[in-house]
């Protein structure tokens, strides 16, 4: 069993200065990938990790030769890729099996496309089916198989053509947690076994755990537009155990890199406008956040992320926005790989429903400048009404329209839950709750006086 990467120095895939933009529906251009440089070496398993929409699939399709770059180049073993890349085979999330063909016929498809003769085809397909543990299911149809078995057919079909590089687009994301775990281990074994024809792989995933489990190297893609921001080496022995310190430490590192955009706001952004200087609001559901805090409390107030994910039946990655939200509100902190409830967090977890709303309102006002500003503007308005676009305009100054929209949606949901404001979706207006309105009037008049007094 090899313990570290089997990579050599030979570059198999080389991407240089790749840019890609698509035409947007309104006639403009949508930049998706920018300045991508990446090299995959022989014998290496590389993971491309990024949030949904960061351009992972698009990058993979360039490497497969299915898309042409807007600028930049892709090379396979020194030769430019100008059409379907002959050195690669692709494994998809959706299995992409032909329902009217048997397992064996599905596995034979790729060989058929390569012009392999029927007898040799049959033999190689059977060997492939055997290799992925589906002996006995040669004549079954896809609908007779479980999701895990279908993806094994996918493995067999991709590997039987002995591609130099296996390209995988979120191949485990349609499977349940346990099946995914099993199949990841099996895939690593197939790729690293002595004599395997396919030893190089590029995996696209939005799962941190999957990347740490499988890869020798993780490239983290930022969003809007996609650029490779960080490279992490995974020098952990195989087979890898997620319960080890090394594994957990790397999971934490990757987590920080993936969510670390907040530290990288350009310094030129004004610091006077709290909306511009604020960290982005994690897109988290208040109910789920409450569930997370309750679980944490029931476990004595501290737990490592993988166990928490297990207990809640979440992928670690789906937990991320919730963990971020808990941190933003000072309800929890990450220390030495553990998520720990703070005193404030534990107060919230133990409170009844109405008290929770009050506590949540206080936490939001203290820690979320966006919501605090929305509330201040509402109170200062005098009328207790604030058109949504006044907020979006200020947000748009520091991030894309789509990102602003999402920020605002989250802020509205949190603010409504906290009863800091109401929202009229038809007119897109924020409203001060009736009971606060009188106070707002006072504040508005006070503000008017202050302005009038100024010389
Ligand atoms: P990921 O795989 O990381 O989720 P994708 O590569 O699928 O991301 O997509 C990245 C962005 O590019 C998305 O905003 C998506 O809508 C856009 N996009 C992808 N393919 C096309 C296309 N053919 N035409 C227009 N936009 C596209
Ligand atoms: Mg994708």
β-partners of residue 430 are 386, 423
β-partners of residue 75 are 14, 80
Burial class (CB in 10 A: 0-12, 13-18, 19+), 24: exposed
| Nearest CA-CA partner of 151 in 184, 120, 119 | 184
CA of 49 from ligand 2 middle (Å) equals: 10
Distance CA 87, CA 18 (A): 20
| Nearest CA-CA partner of 138 in 110, 106, 174 | 106
pLDDT at 57: 93
Closest C-alpha to ligand 1, atom 20: 58
Confidence of residue 403 (pLDDT cuts 50, 70, 90): confident
Given a cut of 60, whether residue 197 has pLDDT beyond it is: yes
Check if the beta carbon of residue 202 is closer than 8 Å to that of residue 40: yes
Q: Could you tell me if the CB of 366 is within 6 A of ligand 1?
A: no
pLDDT at 274: 47
Q: Can you give the three-state secondary structure of 316-357, one letter per residue?
A: HHHHHHHHHHHHHCCCEEEECCEEEECHHHHHHHHCCHHHHH
Q: Could you tell me if the CB of 222 is within 6 A of ligand 1?
A: no
CA of 56 from ligand 2 middle (Å) equals: 6
Confidence of residue 450 (pLDDT cuts 50, 70, 90): very low
Q: Could you tell me if the CB of 34 is within 6 A of ligand 1?
A: no
From the alpha carbon of 22, which atom of ligand 1 is closest?
25
pLDDT at 164: 97
pLDDT at 260: 61
Confidence of residue 447 (pLDDT cuts 50, 70, 90): very low
Alpha helices in 381-423 (DSSP H): 388-396, 401-417
Given a cut of 80, whether residue 278 has pLDDT beyond it is: no
CA of 48 from ligand 2 middle (Å) equals: 11
| Interval 177-204 mean pLDDT | 88
Higher pLDDT pick, 245 / 94: 245
DSSP state of 26: T
Q: Could you tell me if the CB of 50 is within 6 A of ligand 1?
A: yes
């Amino acid at each position: 069993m090899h313990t570290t990467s089997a990579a050599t120095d030979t570059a198999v895939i080389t991407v240089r200065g790749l840019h890609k933009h698509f035409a947007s529906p309104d006639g403009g251009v949508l930049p998706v990938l920018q300045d991508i440089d990446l090299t995959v070496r022989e014998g290496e398993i590389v993971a491309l990790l990024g949030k949904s929409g960061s351009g992972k699939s698009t990058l993979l399709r360039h490497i497969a030769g299915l898309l042409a770059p807007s600028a930049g180049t892709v090379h396979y073993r020194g030769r430019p890729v100008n059409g379907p890349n002959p050195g690669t085979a692709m494994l998809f999330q959706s299995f992409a099996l032909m329902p009217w063909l048997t397992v064996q016929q599905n596995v034979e498809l790729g060989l058929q496309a390569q012009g392999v003769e029927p007898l040799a085809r049959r033999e190689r397909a059977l060997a492939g089916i055997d290799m992925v543990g589906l002996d006995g299911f040669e004549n079954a149809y896809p609908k007779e198989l479980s999701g895990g078995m279908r993806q094994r057919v996918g493995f067999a079909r991709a590997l039987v053509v002995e591609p130099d590089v296996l390209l995988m687009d979120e191949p485990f994301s349609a499977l349940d947690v346990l099946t995914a775990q099993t199949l990841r281990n099996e895939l690593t074994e197939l790729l690293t076994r002595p004599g395997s024809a396919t030893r190089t792989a590029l995996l696209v995933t939005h799962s941190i755990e999957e990347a740490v489990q499988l890869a020798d190297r993780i490239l983290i893609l930022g969003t809007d537009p996609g650029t490779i921001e960080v490279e992490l080496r995974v020098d952990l022995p195989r087979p890898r155990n997620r319960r080890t310190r090394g594994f957990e430490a790397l999971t934490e590192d990757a987590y920080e890199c993936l969510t670390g955009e907040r530290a990288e706001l350009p310094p030129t952004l004004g610091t006077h406008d709290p909306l511009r200087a604020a960290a982005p609001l994690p897109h988290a559901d208040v109910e789920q956040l409450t569930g997370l805090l309750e679980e944490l409390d029931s476990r004595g107030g501290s737990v490592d992320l993988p166990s928490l994910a297990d207990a809640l039946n979440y992928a670690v990655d789906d937990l991320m926005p919730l963990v971020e939200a808990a941190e933003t509100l000072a309800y929890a902190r990450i220390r030495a790989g553990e998520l720990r409830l703070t005193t404030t967090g534990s107060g919230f977890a133990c409170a009844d429903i109405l008290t929770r709303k009050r506590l949540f309102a206080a936490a939001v006002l203290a820690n979320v400048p966006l919501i605090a500003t929305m509330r201040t503007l509402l109170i200062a308005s005098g009328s207790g009404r604030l058109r949504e676009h006044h907020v979006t305009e200020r947000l748009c100054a520091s991030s894309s329209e789509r990102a602003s929209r999402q920020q605002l949606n989250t802020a509205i949901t949190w603010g409504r839950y906290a009863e800091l404001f109401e929202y009229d979706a038809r007119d897109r207006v924020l409203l001060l709750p009736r009971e606060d309105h009188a106070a707002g009037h006072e504040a508005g008049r006070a503000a008017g006086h202050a302005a009038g007094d100024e010389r």
